[in-house]
A = this chain, B = another copy of it.
Amino acid sequence: MTNSDAVEWPQGFVAHAGHAGLRQSGDDVSVIASERPAVGAAVFTQSHFAGPSVLLSRRHAADQRLRAIVTVASNANVATGPEGERNAAELVGLVAKLLGVPDQEVLVSSTGVIGRQLPMAPLRTHLGGQPAFEAAPLAVASAMMTTDTHPKISVREVGGARIVGVAKGVGMIEPNMATMLAYLVTDAEVGPIELDNALRGAVDRTFNCLSVDTDTSTSDTVAILANGAAGPVDPDEFAAAVHAVCLELTEQLARDGEGATKLLRVVVGGAASPVQAKRVAKSILNSPLVKTAVHGADPNWGRVVMAVGKNTEHAEDQAITPEGVTVRFGEMQVYPGGTGEAELAQLVEIMRRDEVEIGVTLGLGEASATVFGCDLSEGYIRINADYTT
């Protein structure tokens, strides 16, 4: 587990976090930059309504030469048309000028309300001044937050190098090839292809296995920068460390899902394919009836078999039968067999934990998947019924 306060950037990385005035109080703009040339890799939302920030960043990430990432919090700059495109480009230009790097080496992310133009005047004033680059990862992670209740940070050592990751996101989270905002930076010396493979391999088993509310953001971005300051590292150890950082950030995101009181992990095994395992796991993870049962610490396994049973759209799911399925809460099997009064008390204890794991086997094959989410509480409703346009 990462101790957020103590985390420092890897060698050759600096950052700025400041208050440009997009929200009433608190930092709302941040920049992470490498002092030396770096390679990068990034994945973005697949939403048809991806905003100008994502579209521009996707172009800049194409050649994998990246030096900096600027993030604006509280405005998504999505569904903003040509003016939104001009604003994203100007934002990138301001940061590139500040750092003395080409525009093409700067990524831009914006997160918050959809359908509003970025307030460029305060951003020009703030970034046009002499913003200090003295922010620690904690300050950047905090400046990225919207309805997050706390900053998300993860760090791993690999050889003589370090990987530091920061992330934000609590709602509108069912990533599709990417998640909300997550950035990793490392001083390891890594080639662009190796870096891209490590990121995509990790994202697929971490951020892409995360769902808070089945809603896919228009701004999802995960990026990694490697500046080589610490020299080469073992590629497998590096990939494993990238995965560990992505996994810790994913669990932090799930645990802080809007209104969440606990982390929900669903493990599906015995599936005919990894795709089926993930599909069935997601259908359990996203079932409002399972999520509310977890919230109420109710070992209602009937809702889990319901969520397994409703997968009827895909051909390979036709092989699912009640006889082939097993269900467990934590370490206790509940189906088949059901639960007597004795087990019930023990089960309620398991359901009361701040991490609940539901395990299902389908008896069809060897494939498995683990997905991450949270319970569904009144808090989610309050936050989203009141979070106004």
Taking the complex as formed, is A34 at the interface, i.e. its CB lies under 8 A from any CB of chain B?
Answer: no
Flag if A215 contacts B306 (CB, 8 Å): yes
Taking the complex as formed, is A273 at the interface, i.e. its CB lies under 8 A from any CB of chain B?
Answer: no
Assuming the A-B contacts A335-B79, A377-B381, are A288 and B48 also in contact, with contact meaning beta carbons closer than 8 angstroms in the complex?
no
Taking the complex as formed, is A238 at the interface, i.e. its CB lies under 8 A from any CB of chain B?
Answer: no
Binds B, one of A153-161, A242-250, A307-315: A307-315
Flag if B385 contacts A49 (CB, 8 Å): no
Chain B residues whose CB sits within 8 angstroms of the CB of A213 once the complex forms: 288-289
Taking the complex as formed, is A197 at the interface, i.e. its CB lies under 8 A from any CB of chain B?
Answer: no
Which of B289, B308, B384 is the one whose CB lies under 8 Å from A49?
B308
Assuming the A-B contacts A289-B384, A306-B172, are A48 and B295 also in contact, with contact meaning beta carbons closer than 8 angstroms in the complex?
no
For chain A, the bracket of interface size reads 35 or more
Taking the complex as formed, is A293 at the interface, i.e. its CB lies under 8 A from any CB of chain B?
Answer: yes
Chain B residues whose CB sits within 8 angstroms of the CB of A307 once the complex forms: 215
Taking the complex as formed, is A93 at the interface, i.e. its CB lies under 8 A from any CB of chain B?
Answer: no
CA distance A36 to B376 in the complex (A): 50
Flag if A292 contacts B47 (CB, 8 Å): no
Taking the complex as formed, is A171 at the interface, i.e. its CB lies under 8 A from any CB of chain B?
Answer: yes
Assuming the A-B contacts A298-B389, A385-B292, are A215 and B48 also in contact, with contact meaning beta carbons closer than 8 angstroms in the complex?
no
The secondary structure that dominates the A interface is loop
Taking the complex as formed, is A320 at the interface, i.e. its CB lies under 8 A from any CB of chain B?
Answer: yes
**Chain A positions 143-196 with a Cβ under 8 Å from a chain B Cβ:** 171-172, 174, 176
Taking the complex as formed, is A300 at the interface, i.e. its CB lies under 8 A from any CB of chain B?
Answer: yes
Flag if B381 contacts A295 (CB, 8 Å): yes
Q: Can you name the residue of chain B whose Cβ is closest to the Cβ of A381?
A: B378
CA distance A213 to B290 in the complex (A): 11
Q: Can you name the residue of chain B whose Cβ is closest to the Cβ of A78?
A: B302
Taking the complex as formed, is A10 at the interface, i.e. its CB lies under 8 A from any CB of chain B?
Answer: no
Assuming the A-B contacts A292-B385, A385-B293, are A47 and B78 also in contact, with contact meaning beta carbons closer than 8 angstroms in the complex?
no
Taking the complex as formed, is A74 at the interface, i.e. its CB lies under 8 A from any CB of chain B?
Answer: no
A59-96 interface bits toward B, Cβ cutoff 8 Å, 1 = contact, 0 = none: 00000000000000000101101000000000000000
Which of B215, B308, B311 is the one whose CB lies under 8 Å from A289?
B215
